[in-house]
A and B are shown apart, each in its own frame.
Chain A
């Protein structure tokens, strides 16, 4: 039969291939100890005498792309600027960012590609809690510095488990603590409502808020990103007579809460977290509605929020002016937004860390330099990092501000704190002056 002959041929082919493969194999393991050819100084993957390769993952497509996809364009512009000014210790920064569509499966694929194929030296500013959470194990196992994750989750601070991962922005818990403390002292009689994104943002924030406002909270409402119908939640807040609402939500939902408030004639004192309170973005969203009905960001007037980075709408700030110049020189022609300033500030922090790692950085050296000197890194951010060998949390504080017209007014000094029941205190560091060209200088002595 032809068919059985074919089967036999296939089997023979398969067996032959196995034997051939075994023939070229080793047949057994040599003594241990002879492996590992890397220089004792540490890994120099992705770094040469004149270049250093940095990778990242962001949602450039899909539901999370609006807004977040601007962050890497800011980082890229900043690195282009640095490269145009001679690079870092003569090394040009080669920045590669890939799309993960805010999908952890794709994050794992693109980070594999960045680390194994593109051979990046470090990952910088990877965005999102579920997305970046999927690659922590891998980056830790590969020993890739995983710097300044773009998310306020508490996951990034696990130095024992993930020795190379560092957070960046104030985590949602301490941000919530600082805002709630302000509310508790300034509005002790307020009936407080919470409007929370139903993920770790809302969860961590609620924990922080309840430390100071547990007794004042009258209603907690949550929304699911993507579902823009928030009328029922707003009706519930109104029904509970909440006269002050703290929102931990993304900017589009700030706009939606304002519109819905208009509809219900519900005007509580609004307190938004930093991620949700982008007056430029929210104002431009609200500004175009309903010809003449909502003419500018007037709805946002009086709203309270917190700041830890310079704002795009404040050109009198020296940092904003510097970033504006950088964006004009290397941007893609769009407007300078807070998202882009966020990306540029991360770029600044990376350059600073790289300089701290010395003239010949290794992956291990970079991590050690951040653990050793991280609390003294100064830049556009309002409060110092909490980086030590035992703690990998990012910026330690923020200042509470009120939105007035096109700008913001500080309601007090920068406040700093830490997770859990750490007290909130005034920051002791002053504002950091902008270095020449907006490029950090190599740190002086230790």
Chain B
């Protein structure tokens, strides 16, 4: 997956404008769009192959974990674009996922095709995102965090209040789609494996994720993405250059919300239920953990971070249990590690995994030769 951000970008630090000096920048600017998009498409194709290989070579439990990871990845990608590229923090993405999940739960029983449902879920959530974004456009840092926190806490209350339509506390069941025959046949043709429900959902999740990542990668590499970064780095300068700050912020929020809605829709079909207790503030903070640990602004980081959300808690709990903690104590260890990791990353490696690795790699490769082209390196 492509992460077209510059290697030295770090969490919320001030800008380093003018980093593309000399003749290279002109050449790169002219060549970049087409080459970048082609590269993204090729990477997407490669990602698809990796997904097929991984899902066919692992068992049903891993399949289900990858299904979970797929929606975390999409939501985290949306958040990392918002926070990493546009500088807006959101603790409300869990609630935005709820919008997508409930939309899916309301539409799927009406026999709307799954893909269309997911697109609608993304669209509805984007609309909510516009509302939140418009209210949030004037807010910064802690104000924005607090306001989106209040949003995240408040929204699930709606599902309880309108329990006739939304199922109340016990939730809205989401019918789990069966794999279509042609799909099962295609998988069988490829690998001689039958398609379990978990595997089908993992395929759906990852196809959605790849498309979402492709769109996001191209968007962030485009003019819009550059404007977002300009606003993040120096809003006064951006404003002077004719950028309408609030419009840009609202757009970023809408795009990010669309991803959250898409992710929520996939969550709905994977979990088979949309319930208020599934979208607590813990979910929002988990997403934030994923993007911070993976590397703010990096789409690859979002994938790594979502892997962390899926695979870390069981590992930590097992570790705690084998270290002699009671089962109840061991279960508390996972949130503790989340919190501690969040602090440590910000203090010690604010670029997250991707930022840190890239900085190291960059330092090593550019020290002798200094070829600027390398900076767009592997991601």
Which residues of A come within 8 Å of B, CB atoms?
Answer: 1-4, 6-7, 10-11, 13-15, 17-18, 21-22, 24-29, 60-62, 65, 69, 72-73, 76, 97-99, 101-105, 108-109, 112-113, 116-117, 129-131, 133-135, 137-138, 141, 153, 155, 198-200, 203, 224, 332
Contact = CB atoms under 8 A, between A and B. Distances in A.
B31 A99 contact: no
Contacts of A155: 170
B49 A18 contact: yes
26 contacts: A3-B31, A3-B35, A10-B42, A11-B42, A11-B45, A14-B49, A17-B49, A21-B56, A25-B191, A26-B191, A60-B327, A65-B328, A99-B317, A102-B277, A103-B283, A104-B171, A104-B271, A112-B64, A116-B60, A129-B169, A130-B170, A135-B272, A153-B170, A155-B170, A199-B160, A199-B169
Interface string B277-313: 1101011000000000000000000000000001000
B267 A10 contact: no
A124 to B, nearest CB: 15
Given A112-B198, A133-B170, A200-B170, A104 B191 contact: no
A29 B188 contact: yes
Nearest to B329: A60
Given A104-B278, A130-B277, A199-B168, A61 B272 contact: no
A112 B310 CA distance: 12
A332 B328 CA distance: 11
B68 interface: yes
* Consensus secondary structure, chain B interface: helix
Given A13-B46, A26-B192, A130-B171, A108 B270 contact: yes
Given A22-B190, A130-B273, A153-B170, A7 B42 contact: yes
Contacts of A117: 61
Chain B CB within 10 Å, residue with most, of A28, A60, A203: A60
Interface of B: 31, 35, 38-39, 42-43, 45-46, 48-49, 52-53, 56, 59-61, 64-65, 68, 157, 160, 163, 168-171, 173, 176, 185, 188-192, 197-198, 267, 270-273, 275-278, 280, 282-283, 310, 314, 317, 326-328, 331-332, 334-335, 373
B287 to A, nearest CB: 12
Given A14-B45, A116-B61, A133 B275 contact: yes
A62 B285 CA distance: 14
A4 B160 contact: no
A106 to B, nearest CB: 8
A24 to B, nearest CB: 7
A27 B191 contact: no
Nearest to B326: A332
A128 to B, nearest CB: 8
Closest 4 CB pairs of A and B: A199-B169, A26-B192, A116-B61, A99-B331
Nearest to A135: B272
A134 B332 contact: no
Nearest to A22: B190
B189 A113 contact: no
B189 A61 contact: no
Contacts of A61: 331-332, 334-335
Contact of B275 (A3, A109, A130, A224): A130
Contacts of A62: 280, 282
A10 B326 contact: no
A1 B31 contact: yes
Chain A CB within 10 Å, residue with most, of B39, B273, B276: B273
Nearest to B38: A7
A138 B169 contact: no
Chain A CB within 10 Å, residue with most, of B38, B278, B334: B278
A32 to B, nearest CB: 12
B282 A101 contact: yes
Contacts of B188: 25-26, 28-29
Contact of A109 (B49, B68, B331, B332): B68
Contact of A25 (B189, B270, B317): B189
Given A25-B189, A130-B171, A137-B272, A109 B282 contact: no
